[in-house]
Amino acid sequence: MYGFSKFYSKFYKYPLPLLLLSLWLVAVFLLSDRPAHSQHPVISTNKEKYQSTLLAKRIMPSTLTENVRKTVLENGLTVLTKEVHTAPVVTVQVWYKVGSRNEEPGVNGIAHQLEHMMFKGTKNRPIQFGRLFSALGSDSNAFTSYDQTAYYGTVERNKLKALLVLEADRMRNSQIEPEQLASEKRVVISELQGYENSPEYRLNRAVMQAVFPNHAYGLPVGGTKADVEKFEVEQVEKYYRNFYSPDNAVLVIVGDFQTANTLETIKEVFGKLPRQEAGGRGQELFLPHLHHSALNTQHGLNAPLPLTALNTQPSTLP
């Protein structure tokens, strides 16, 4: 602010010289890009830049999936690890293979509702998990989409195990209490009412309903106010027990860690969690009356938020 005031006083005192200087600089800048002896300077320059860009894309290797190691524990948990030592931090993500595609009218939005409840505490830690994440200095959140529900957080590398312990705890021991469910139902309904103010959201919902009239993909990810109001503790608990287990999850760790030591920690923390019993889970759990279309594509991985995913953290968290 001080620098701007100083410049303004100079301009006020010497307006004409500074104006001429500014015009000269603009002229130099505009003319400096023109190549000599070119009848089409703009086209020629853009073509050269375009060719350079394409060449860079051809010779530059993709590093996103390089050095990713996949490990599957005995209980079915899939673990993806990638060391990146550019900063002393680690990101942890837990992806559950469940979303609004596992719902039907009457229980639409239960996956998103459960996402909210996963921040309310466990039997071992009956405290809002937002406070625990904050104590770790973690930037944590979650989102629900058509095919998956994901939880993610970033911490200092020396707090990696503590973050893994919290994620393992709520994978198995989350509590669904009537009072907390009633509170979070109000939060979810408020979110849905807020999304109704977005023309983009309403257009996306109308398109999905038209494309998938007889499939759960046509249901709104966040559910409807009428369905959310009717959720009971037993429904949410059943959904949690059915889909939140290691054999239905993918754990992703990226950052400044040593793979061998971290895998031992993962086996210690997550390896003791039981997998879902045989026949206990089915994609048709909430779809007995819907006719499945032949399309079987993933709809939540690359879609923009918030239209195809609700990126939310309960408002009651600090």
| Strand boundaries in 75-117, DSSP class E | 78-83, 89-96
Given the residues 66, 83, 104, 115, select the one marked as catalytic: 115
Residue 112 sits at the vertex; the CA angle it makes with 215 and 147, to the nearest 5 degrees, is 45
End-to-end CA distance of the chain: 33
What does R_g of the chain's alpha carbons equal in angstroms? Answer: 26
Q: At 102, phi and psi to the nearest 5?
A: -95, 20
Edge to edge, what strands does the sheet with 249-255 contain? Answer: 69-72, 78-83, 249-255, 89-96, 149-156, 141-145, 309-311
Query: Tokens 């939140």, residue?
Result: 244
Residue 118, token pair as written in the block: 């996963």
Question: 3-state class of 141 per DSSP?
Answer: strand
b/e sequence 113-124, b meaning 16+ C-beta within 10 Å:
bbbbbbbbbbee
Q: Are 99 and 300 within 8 A, CB to CB?
A: yes
C-alpha span between 198 and 146 (Å, rounded): 19
Burial class (CB in 10 A: 0-12, 13-18, 19+), 242: middle
93: β partners: 152, 252
Tokens, residue 126: 């009956």
Active-site annotation holds for 277 = no
Whether residue 306 is preceded by a cis peptide bond, meaning omega within 30 degrees of 0, is yes
Which residues does the annotation mark as catalytic?
115
